[in-house]
Amino acid sequence: MSLSDHPRAYGTAAVAVAFAAGVLVTLGFKDLYPDLESRYQQKRSWARKHGHASASNPSGGATENTTRRRRSSIFWGPVALEDHEAAEDALYLRSPGIVSGIEGCIGGTPLLEIHSLSEATGRTILAKAEFLNGAGNSPKDRVALRMIQAAEEEGLLVPGRGDTIYEGTVGSTGISIAVLARAKGYRAHICMPDDQSLEKSDLLHHLGATVERVPVAPIASPEHFVNLARRRAAEHTASQQDDSRGFFADQFENPANYQAHQAATGPEIVAQTDGRVDAFVAGAGTGGTVAGVARYLKDDAKIPSVRVVLADPQGSGLYNKIRHGVMYSATEKEGTRRRQQVDSIVEGVGINRVTDNFEAGRDLIDDAVKVTDEQACKMARWLVEHDGIFVGSSSAVNCVAAVVAAMSLPKGSRIVTILCDSGTRHLSKLWKRIGEMGLEDEPKPDDLFTLLAIKQSR
């Protein structure tokens, strides 16, 4: 008796054979594309390294489900089956479980597409939403945490001893330090120039920090806000009134700054883009963000074609350093600027010296874009009107530079930049200027390039 004598049995056997063939082909195709497995393993390793949890594993550690592997040797040899859903949770969800304190809210920020800029340029403009870091609401959360942890490892800071963290800052780093200092059992003492927005110093006061607003002075002066913070820390330690110590965080020169971005911000960008990044654009104040991310993209992730572009406000010398190898142009030398540091309304980026953090990645920066105050103001307003994104001056500079960089790349390219902090910290300065320029009332061009006076080169 044959199967042909029993059509129903023949049909059942055919279905079974087809199903088995489908399973085998699927397993075979998996091994035909090993880069998918390696890319997944890279993501999983990154998530485990940085402690990101999954819905099924809030602690972020390995579980039986996430490490279980089945082996099959049919046709194409051993095949590894993984729980990819759990790994995706670990990568893209910051904390589906419980995190430990406010520092657990740092990192894992979203990478969002800015639709209006993508549509205008014909390239995909992506922005790392660092203003959504959960401690001080800026990329400086990562830096402050890393500097504090490094100081604790060296015994320079001991919780509960009465230690104080001193820092010279234009605002964001001080805010992050103030938040984390309280959370970890320290005090914070912040020195800042008196031309920064009042919102920042007011917030620092409310966070329990001691704030010294000092007149703007050149870096060579002992009264420069950074030098003052260094001196205050030394005075604290030398007072010998108790066992407490003063720790000068030194964000401009402390290598923990760029290392924070090389260890976390860069890997997050690569994971969120699957490594498809054509350009990274960021400004430099301390230089830690652009240097750290550049080092990860080029040295660690080894993305050979990625371009790193510096976004620099008017009055800063870094544009000329990258483009021409010198810090100053004729219009930016001493005696010609209204301010001693950077002649710009922009806060947080732009400087006229090369810091150790910037130097750590300077050789990896391919180009620089100069952004005027007028362009920054117009971009900040454009983002509100077209995308509902309300950010500060450094973010606006980054976005202008991202548009310029995009036009030097082929259509369809991906450009990643940074949204640093919310516009709520810039109401009395940037957003006041925007109001004075009439940008919130007068009709404005719908064409981005006309608005910013940028040439469409490609």
Average pLDDT on 428-436 reads 93
The 8-class DSSP code of residue 303 comes to: -
**Global confidence as pTM:** 0.79
Residue ranges per domain, the chain?
102-133+262-452, 139-248
Per the prediction, the chain carries an average pLDDT of 83
The CA dihedral of 377, 327, 311, 139, to the nearest 10 degrees, is -100
pLDDT at 52 over 50: no
pLDDT at 172 over 70: yes
Amino acid identity for residue 19 in this structure: F
Which one is predicted more confidently, 135 or 22? 135
Contacts of 208 (CB under 8 A, 6+ apart): 178, 182, 187, 188
Query: pLDDT (tens digit, 9 = 90+) per residue, 382-391?
Result: 999 999 999 9
The one catalytic residue in 128, 140, 378, 429 is 140
CATH (one of 1.10.10.60, 3.40.50.720, 3.40.50.1100, 3.50.50.60) for 139-248: 3.40.50.1100
Q: In what order do the strands lie in the sheet with 246-248?
A: 210-214, 187-193, 164-168, 246-248
For residues 188 and 200, give the distance between their C-alpha atoms in angstroms, rounded to a whole number. 14
Query: pLDDT (tens digit, 9 = 90+) per residue, 127-141?
Result: 999 999 999 999 999
Residue 3's pLDDT is: 46
For residues 414 and 121, give the distance between their C-alpha atoms in angstroms, rounded to a whole number. 11
Lookup: tokens for 36: 């998918």
Query: pLDDT (tens digit, 9 = 90+) per residue, 88-119?
Result: 443 444 556 899 899 999 999 999 999 999 99
Count of alpha carbons within 13 angstroms of residue 62, beta-carbon side: 9
Considering the chain, what percentage of its residues have pLDDT values greater than 90? Answer: 67
Average pLDDT on 444-453 reads 91
CATH number of 102-133+262-452: 3.40.50.1100
Query: 26 to each of 34, 76, 88, how far by Cα in Å?
Result: 13, 11, 21
Residue 69's pLDDT is: 34
pLDDT at 424 over 50: yes
Residue 330's pLDDT is: 53
pLDDT tier for residue 66 given thresholds of 50, 70 and 90: very low
Average pLDDT on 184-206 reads 93
Burial (CB count within 10 angstroms: exposed 0-12, middle 13-18, buried 19+), residue 22? exposed
pLDDT tier for residue 362 given thresholds of 50, 70 and 90: very high
Which one is predicted more confidently, 347 or 251? 251
Which one is predicted more confidently, 90 or 356? 356
Average pLDDT on 171-193 reads 95
Residue 101's pLDDT is: 93
Asked whether the beta carbons of 236 and 157 are under 8 A apart, the reply is: no
Asked whether the beta carbons of 392 and 458 are under 8 A apart, the reply is: no
Asked whether the beta carbons of 392 and 422 are under 8 A apart, the reply is: yes
φ/ψ region of 122 (left if φ > 0, alpha if ψ in -120 to 50, else beta) reads: left
pLDDT tier for residue 30 given thresholds of 50, 70 and 90: very low
Secondary structure E strands in 43-147: 111-113, 124-129
Asked whether the beta carbons of 165 and 201 are under 8 A apart, the reply is: no
Considering the chain, what percentage of its residues have pLDDT values greater than 70? Answer: 75
Catalytic-residue membership of 140: yes
Which one is predicted more confidently, 458 or 79? 458
Burial (CB count within 10 angstroms: exposed 0-12, middle 13-18, buried 19+), residue 189? buried
